[in-house]
Structure 1
Amino acid sequence: MHPRVPLLYNRAMIHHVVSLAAWNAHPDQPYSPDSLPEDGFVHCSPDEPTTLAVVNAFYRDAPKPLHVLVIDEARLDARVEFEAAVPAPPPGVGADVLFPHVFGPINRDAVVGILAIRWDEQGHATGFTAGLT
């Protein structure tokens, strides 16, 4: 059995895939991925299945371990907009799924947990395990 994504105020949290090195690089500042200046927002996912599809489509060859920030959207200082994937969602994600985009750095008090990504023998992300809190 794998841990469920935390619920707060009866709603699911949003997710962002990160290496611990990136998360820990500037612990006294809001988290700002390298992609923020170019893309204008922080890429997030709305739920565990979508996050796993993103990891399998874009992060399979990334250095491991990888983690998922569990973010309470209501605590974010930056604006969040749910938008369609451009040009298309990753394999296994329906075209109707909207992705949360955070238009600014992620303030650390909005992160309510950090989960590790679990991998199978073929290198596919299969779920989350307890990480840091």
Structure 2
Amino acid sequence: MIYHVVPLGEWNAGPDQPYAPASLAEEGFVHCSPDEETTLTIVNTFYRTAPRPLLALLLDEDRLTATCAWEAAVPAPPPGVAENTLFPHVFGPINRDAVERVLEVRWDEDGRATGLEDVD
């Protein structure tokens, strides 16, 4: 499983279409993370002020219709992520049937992401 972070409003914007975040048009791929720990670090680095609720999509890499490549972060991974960590980049929209689970980011009283929990 690979992880992709998205605000609920963006995820729900086109429920009958493949999901294509802005990064796909801007950078040519959808940013993903390899595991929960890295995902939480990414959330705390880049998504603390993102609209909430914030979701983490668990994607079954084998069910993706777009190519997924594991690549190094450029120029470097965020603080707290090992230098040798490879990140899954999906080179096309996310087909919704590749989403195995949808989790919601849990926050502490200081506004830091502390975990992921199943969406009811």
Q: Give the TM-score, by structure 2 length.
A: 0.97
> Does residue 70 of structure 1 match 2:61?
no
> Within 2, Cα distance between the matches of 1:66 and 1:28?
20
State the partner residue of 1:39.
Answer: 27
Match of 2:38 among 50, 56, 62: 50
> Within 2, Cα distance between the matches of 1:116 and 1:131?
6
Paired letter, 2:64: L
Matches within 5 A, 1:96-107: 96-107=84-95
Paired letter, 1:62: A
- C-alpha deviation, 1:22, in angstroms: 0.7
> Within 2, Cα distance between the matches of 1:44 and 1:29?
19
State the partner residue of 1:86.
Answer: 74
Q: What SS does structure 2 have at the residue aligned with 1:35?
A: helix
Structure 1 runs (4+) deviating above 4 angstroms are none
Q: Give the TM-score, by structure 1 length.
A: 0.88
> Within 2, Cα distance between the matches of 1:52 and 1:89?
13
- C-alpha deviation, 1:17, in angstroms: 0.2
Aligned residues: 120
Segments of 5+ residues of structure 1 without an aligned counterpart are 1-12
> Within 2, Cα distance between the matches of 1:73 and 1:101?
11
Segments of 5+ residues of structure 2 without an aligned counterpart are none
- C-alpha deviation, 1:20, in angstroms: 1.3
**Percent identity of equivalent pairs:** 66
Paired letter, 1:27: P
